[in-house]
Amino acid sequence: MIPLIILSGPTAVGKTKLSIELARSLNAEIISADSMQVYRGMDIGTAKITADEMEGIRHHLIDIISPFDEWNVTEFVKRSKEAINEIVAGGKVPIVTGGTGFYIQALIKDVDFSNEEDTSVRDELIRTADEKGSEFLYQMLREVDPESAEIIHKNNLKRVIRALEFFRLHGKKISEHNKEQTVDNSPYNYLYFVLNDERSRLYERIDRRVDTMIDNGLVDEVASLRNRGLDLSYVSMQGLGYKEIYRYLSGEITLDEAVYILKRDTRHFAKRQLTWFKREENVIMFDKSRYNNDNEILNEMVELYRRKISGN
């Protein structure tokens, strides 16, 4: 079986720095499992890793498509498989890192989405959202799949539509499908690490990250995208940081309100990410508050890899 390491966790927990150290220790390359860092020209709001921060470690699935294009789980799985094969062929270890749990699950369980190409249901749901609002669609989801509604934010229209679309196409809840996918039928010999921290410290880092984004020019970045013709109808512009600043630039809210909403919604997002990871099977949790430093976590991860995968 193909060896694979997953390093995930909530936003702002410190995955990027640790992934670099892990990659260096294991002679690895990194595949991004971030649904926003694929977009070119969207750097500040996605906290995209810089060339300097990569420290010579090769990264895949970063800066690969235009923000006018749509990125989805099917494309992620396809391109990740290609990257994994390339990395292994080169004698290195693939590390998938990022916070999009649904993408990671689809990859390690080799979920086939090829039978979901019928866009008529999706188009109908989008029209319903346009006519009656996203809240109407969210209430539809609560009726047919209340468990999914608990972990999907009502403003995450893309995922609400995805869950309703799955129910319409398959006659079953996507929450039930996700539970079935926890059965270990992966083509990979994988270790699934999830980094976590005390909630107060995580939320403090989220707030600082948002402040840093503003200081580094997030408003100018969103203004540039807006001037290119991107608006909130594009999937890329629905990302945290972009839709809030877009509303500010459109005169709907003040900058202070945009920053407040962004911090609040990012904290909520981190909480939903943790809910997802805690429900996954075969996850090895690393709570940063229980370690003196990240180096202790790194050493434990490396030892687990050598003992359970490489055999060295």
In tens digits, the chain (312 residues) has pLDDT values of 899 999 999 999 999 999 999 999 999 999 999 999 999 999 999 999 999 999 999 999 999 999 999 898 999 999 999 999 999 999 999 999 999 999 999 999 987 665 555 567 877 887 777 677 778 888 999 999 988 888 887 778 878 888 888 888 878 888 777 666 555 578 999 999 999 999 999 999 999 999 999 999 999 999 999 999 999 999 999 999 999 999 999 999 999 999 999 999 999 999 999 999 988 889 999 999 999 999 999 999 999 999 988 766
Buried b (16+ CB within 10 A) or exposed e, 71-92: bebebbbebbeebbeebeeeee
**pLDDT value for 295:** 96
Tokens of 256: 């202070």
Distance of CA 68 to the CA centre of its chain: 19
Give the pLDDT of residue 170.
78
The H or E element spanning position 62 is: none
User: Measured between alpha carbons, how far is 252 from 19 in angstroms, rounded to an integer?
Assistant: 39
Please tell me the predicted confidence (pLDDT) of residue 179. Answer: 65
Q: With 0-12 CB in 10 A as exposed, 13-18 as middle and 19+ as buried, what is 229?
A: exposed
190 vs 207: CA distance, rounded Å: 33
The widest CA-to-CA distance across the chain, in whole angstroms, is 60
* pTM of the predicted model as reported, rounded to 2 decimal places: 0.81
The number of angstroms, rounded, from the C-alpha of 302 to the middle of its chain's C-alpha atoms is: 24
The strand pairing partners of 270, in sequence order, are: none
